[in-house]
Amino acid sequence: MNEEMLYLSEWVAKGKLSRRAFLGRAAALGVSAALANNFLAAAARAEGPVKGGLLKAGVQGASAADSLDPATVSGSAPVLFCRQWGEQLVQLDAHGELQPGLAEEWGSSEGAKVWTFKIRKGVQFHNGKEMTPADVAATMERHSDANSKSVALGIMQGIDKIAVNGQNVVFTLKEPNVDLPFLMDDYHLMIQPNGGKDNPTEGVGTGPYKVTVNEAGVRLGGERFAGYWRDDRGFADQIEIIVINDDTARITALQSGQVHMINRVPPKVVELIKRVPGVTIQNVSGRGHYIFVVQCDTPPFDNNDLRLALKYAVDREEMVQKILMGYGTVGNDTPINAPYPLFTEMEQRKYDPDKAAFHYKKSGHSGSILLHTSEAAFPGATEAAQLYQQSAAKAGITMEVKREPSDGYWSAVANMPFSASYWGGRPTQDQMYSTVYYSKAGLNETHFFNDKFDQMLLQARAELDADKRKKLYADMGQIVRDEGGVIAPMFNNFIDATGPHVGGWQEDPNQEIMGGYALSKCWLQA
């Protein structure tokens, strides 16, 4: 049977047999859909990439306020697009290991205080100019400048000096940081001509696709860059990202063939979609987390007893089952979970209406609490907020849920003291904390300002002993859990879906849509 399946899957890869016919034959042989898709994936990889065509993705997560400036980029669609036209010094692979990007190699001295990156020669920008170490240095200078409003500022502030030495760029840090190379994978740090100081929004980079369409919140597109320096991606002639924020419309677009892949499949419809001929659910666990955040410096949330009341008032197990349908795990009011290499398990906080009522009474607050939510935050965010409302009511906490429009939600969320939010996670604990929880972080959405936490963060960066670093991160996690403004009910799986003509898909737990690289690493097959 396996020999026949292998033979037939090779026919699909060569375009001699339709995927639907193959799956029908597999079912007749008693082969599960999952195993049949494994045969197809193996055959596609063996057959090799197919060049040509227009590869399209339907993506939730964009608005009319989006910009191509990587310093401020946010939302799934613009982030995905950044991965196609831009590149960083390094790239994180699906196994969590750093691979060379625009830097060929790197190393440190002086106890991880001085880092040297050797910049690759012969790489062209889309404007025809050759990328130089000076462009790299200028990029890092721009993102290190407080006036740039770069979201990467939190991870760049540890850099004291940036210098060019021949083909090398040398970073001298204020304090040692053993994780610095991982920080260079941040999608905000796309290398641009003169660092983007001249025109950061034009979308000129070194990636496999050159920007041809930029309709913010509607459509983004690119064509293969003829001067691209690598041959392991950029197989389609053109790529297109169609913004489809509505879940039903996005799924319909995949089923009808309007797009070849989609992100954020709602867990509640996964089992139904699995039955659609030619459609494959791509499901992988990772560091992504669906959360609710309160601004710690904004009344009434500046009272930690009220924050604790809200943390005890959420039924995490219920949300994982009813919102994620089991496609995820229970959260514990920190952004860190088991996939992080230096993770330490803490006592699991559970739903406890009595403790919630105790802290609520101690806070002295009375009256309704307004929770803002939107489907732009995460799939099922409105239902999750309503479940939260119900579980909080059992603790005597009155919560009003206000559903906000998807368009513009991420721009407006800064003015919402209590709201639904989402993070895809980061490769290391330092990067996650530096991006969102460090006092000077560019995206400190909880307005969490804690001197002890900041000091421990800097100490952990410089600590070469892994056990000591792990202990520091455990203590920092405890501070965020007990004093911070993040209410983390659940860590989500990344659930994407592909149509019948997508080849080359591989699991990548770093982010949705194959770590953000599906449009450049996948191809169209017959």
CA dist 195 and 193 (Å) reads: 5
pLDDT in tens, 223-235: 999 999 999 999 9
* Cβ(173)–Cβ(180) below 8 Å: yes
Would you say domain 54-63+207-279+499-524 falls under CATH 3.40.190.10?
yes
Q: How far is CA 12 from the centre of its chain?
A: 32
Nearest to 186 by CA among 378, 457, 432: 432
- Give the tokens for residue 502: 């997508």
9-31 burial, b if ≥16 CB within 10 A, otherwise e?
bbebbeeebebeebbeebeeeeb
pLDDT lower than 50: segments of the chain: 15-16
CB neighbours of residue 266 within 10 Å = 22
pLDDT of residue 20: 63
What CATH architecture does domain 285-493 belong to?
Answer: Roll (3.10)
Strands 418-423 and 280-294: antiparallel
Phi, psi for residue 41 in degrees, rounded to 5: -65, -45
Would you say domain 87-196 falls under CATH 3.90.76.10?
yes
* Cβ(520)–Cβ(233) below 8 Å: yes
CA dist 330 and 238 (Å) reads: 40
- Give the tokens for residue 153: 């500022």
- Give the tokens for residue 62: 């964009």
Angle at Cα 334 formed by Cα 262 and Cα 455, nearest 5°? Answer: 125
pLDDT of residue 1: 57
pLDDT of residue 13: 60
List the alpha helices (DSSP H) in 157-276: 180-183, 247-256, 270-273
Q: How far is CA 115 from CA 159, 169, 184, 189, in A?
A: 10, 8, 12, 17
pLDDT of residue 28: 72
Question: What is the residue extent of each domain of the chain?
Answer: 2-47, 54-63+207-279+499-524, 87-196, 285-493
Q: How far is CA 141 from CA 156, 162, 204, 493, in A?
A: 9, 7, 18, 35
Tell me the sheet residues that pair with 105.
118
Which residues contact residue 24 at a Cβ distance below 8 angstroms, ignoring those fewer than 6 apart?
none
- The model's pTM: 0.82
- Give the tokens for residue 190: 């796309």
Q: How far is CA 506 from the centre of its chain?
A: 16
Q: How far is CA 75 from the centre of its chain?
A: 9
List the alpha helices (DSSP H) in 186-303: 247-256, 270-273
CA dist 82 and 453 (Å) reads: 32
Tell me the sheet residues that pair with 162.
171
Q: How far is CA 343 from CA 176, 252, 311, 428, in A?
A: 21, 39, 21, 10
* Cβ(200)–Cβ(192) below 8 Å: yes
Q: How far is CA 332 from the centre of its chain?
A: 19
Q: How far is CA 38 from CA 9, 255, 424, 458, 506, in A?
A: 9, 21, 26, 44, 11
pLDDT of residue 5: 65
Q: How far is CA 492 from CA 74, 323, 480, 511, in A?
A: 19, 10, 20, 11
